[in-house]
Amino acid sequence: MQSNRIQKFIDQYIGIPTVISLFLIKRIFSVLRKIGKLQNRGLRNTSIVGFTSELPKKILFIQLSALGDTILAIPTVRAIRQYFPQAEITFLASPTNLTYLQHCPYIDRQIEFRYPLHQMIRTLRKDRFDCVIDLEHWSRFSAILAYTTGALHLMGFNAAHQYRHYLFSDIVQHIPGKHEVLNFLSIAQLMGCDTEDTSLAVWIDETEREWCRNLLAQEHIIPSDMLIVLHPEAGRRGEPRRRWLLDHYVELIDTLSVRYDAQIVLTGAPDEVGVTEWIVERTKCKVVKLSGKTKVNQLAAVFDRADLVISGNCGPMHLAAATGTPVIAIHGPTNSDQWGPWSEKSTCLEATLPCSPCLNLGFEYACQALPNGTSPCMQTIPVSDVLKACETYLG
């Protein structure tokens, strides 16, 4: 979390002045052009709507951070792909996001974000993109990166008090409380795309399914066994305020194992192994530990095999929803209307404190963490509520 705080600090206190400075420079150039003092050098603020003069040949999406955001943006990427079939679509993202997109049929090229930054910018400028779509919500860094590509059309969100939209030529209002799938689709709507198909997607190839089958077989789990997967962590490294209480997970696992004669699997990222170990050491039943052992699409294969996934609000929760497996999502600080699993086969359990939810963009917590690292609102969701929700899917 320390690195996240530093990045957020730099993004706010250096990013905002940089955005405003670039905006002012752009405005000055615009005024000079209007009075005939400068020729157009690609800094126009032209409307993208309809692309009436020329269809885009090269479109770049930028999503540098969260896996969940990338999953929720897929309906938008698909709509733009279908509306501009002739365009080359490139996705600039983190390695985790690109792993998820490995088999995505809507993307022609992938670019892994990497340092040094000047080389990254040089690479992007060489591609001469017609349109750049920044999928981030609050990051000034991604808006600046989009601006440095030199693309004529720059699209992105105007989120309250983030001061990043000044660099965009085409602005989409980010609406708190509106599900992120629909917020993202507002971008496609601005481009004139058909946005009827709002379904998520995941692409699991046979290699990944075979890996899952072999792994479960090694644990003596057969295809007829009921399989329940729990993902205890809830995103943001070192930030446990979205995490349900660990001793609640222990009680839940033991009860599910007995009540449904279920096989239990715990998943997590490599830096979440300690959480898994803490839980497993205290459970009375057998638990398969997969934390740190799966790539994104292997994890999707595990979720796809499961009868139920239980998780806090995080990227794997959205990944599970994309597979079509029933999901129970435990929400405290996070607004479930905005960030809940996008699936008809899902249940959101919400905290009962009046200050909850407090998160719309993902960082604006209204309270300090408790000594155990969690937030007060996560304490209000009892194990009995989760068990009751399980009955909907398991009987």
Q: Is the pLDDT of residue 196 over 90?
A: yes
Q: Which fold has domain 206-394?
A: Rossmann fold (3.40.50)
State the SS3 of the chain: CHHHHHHHHHHHHCHHHHHHHHHHHHHHHHHHHHCCCCCCCCCCCCCCHHHCCCCCCEEEEEECCCHHHHHHCHHHHHHHHHHCCCCEEEEEECHHHHHHCCCCCCCCEEEECCCCHHHHHHHHHHHCCCEEEECCCCCHHHHHHHHHCCCCEEEEEECCCCCCHHHCCEEEECCCCCCHHHHHHHHHHHCCCCCCCCCCCCCCCHHHHHHHHHHHHHCCCCCCCCEEEEECCCCCCCCHHHCCCHHHHHHHHHHHHHHHCCEEEECCCHHHHHHHHHHHCCCCCCEEECCCCCCHHHHHHHHHHCCEEEEECCHHHHHHHHHCCCEEEEECCECHHHHCCCCCCEEEEECCCCCCCCECCCCCCCCCCCCCCCCHHHHHCCHHHHHHHHHHHHC
Cβ-count burial 106-115 (b if 16+ within 10 Å, e if not): bbeebbebee
Report which of residues 49 and 384 the model is more confident about: 384
Report which of residues 336 and 27 the model is more confident about: 336
pTM: 0.91
How far is residue 25's CA from residue 37's CA, in Å, rounded to a whole number? 15
Average model confidence (pLDDT) for the chain? 90
How far is residue 193's CA from residue 190's CA, in Å, rounded to a whole number? 7
How far is residue 323's CA from residue 42's CA, in Å, rounded to a whole number? 42
Strand ordering across the sheet containing 170-173: 109-112, 88-93, 58-63, 131-134, 153-158, 170-173
Orientation of helix 296-305 relative to helix 206-218, angle to 10°: 60
- Model confidence pLDDT, tens digit, residues 142-185: 999 999 999 999 999 999 889 999 999 999 999 999 999 999 99
Cα 109 to its chain centre, rounded Å, is 20
What's the burial of 325, exposed, middle or buried (CB within 10 Å: 0-12/13-18/19+)?
A: buried
pLDDT at 53: 56
Q: Is the pLDDT of residue 42 over 50?
A: no
- Asked if the peptide bond before residue 382 counts as cis, ω within 30 degrees of 0, the response is no
Q: Measured at the alpha carbon of residue 208, what is the angle toward residues 235 and 311, in degrees to the nearest 5?
A: 25
pLDDT band (50, 70, 90) for residue 373 = confident
Orientation of helix 117-127 relative to helix 140-148, angle to 10°: 50
The amino acid that residue 378 corresponds to is M
How far is residue 242's CA from residue 53's CA, in Å, rounded to a whole number? 47
Among 8-17, 130-139, 310-319, 377-386, which is the least confidently predicted range? 8-17
pLDDT band (50, 70, 90) for residue 2 = very low
Cα dist from 311 to 157, 200, 265, 286, 383, whole Å: 28, 18, 12, 19, 13
pLDDT at 235: 73
What is the second-level CATH architecture of the domain 7-190? 3-Layer(aba) Sandwich (3.40)
For the CA atoms of 292, 297, 302, 308, what is the dihedral angle to 10 degrees? 110
How far is residue 341's CA from residue 329's CA, in Å, rounded to a whole number? 7
Residue 198 · residue 185 · CB < 8 Å: yes
pLDDT at 66: 83
Q: How many CB atoms lie within 10 A of CB 205?
A: 12
- Model confidence pLDDT, tens digit, residues 278-289: 999 999 999 999
> Which single residue is written with the structure tokens 């602005």?
171
How far is residue 179's CA from residue 338's CA, in Å, rounded to a whole number? 4
pLDDT at 122: 96
Q: Is the pLDDT of residue 388 over 90?
A: yes
- Model confidence pLDDT, tens digit, residues 351-360: 989 889 988 8
Where does CATH 3.40.50.2000 sit in the chain?
A: 7-190, 206-394
pLDDT at 46: 44
pLDDT band (50, 70, 90) for residue 40 = very low
pLDDT at 150: 94
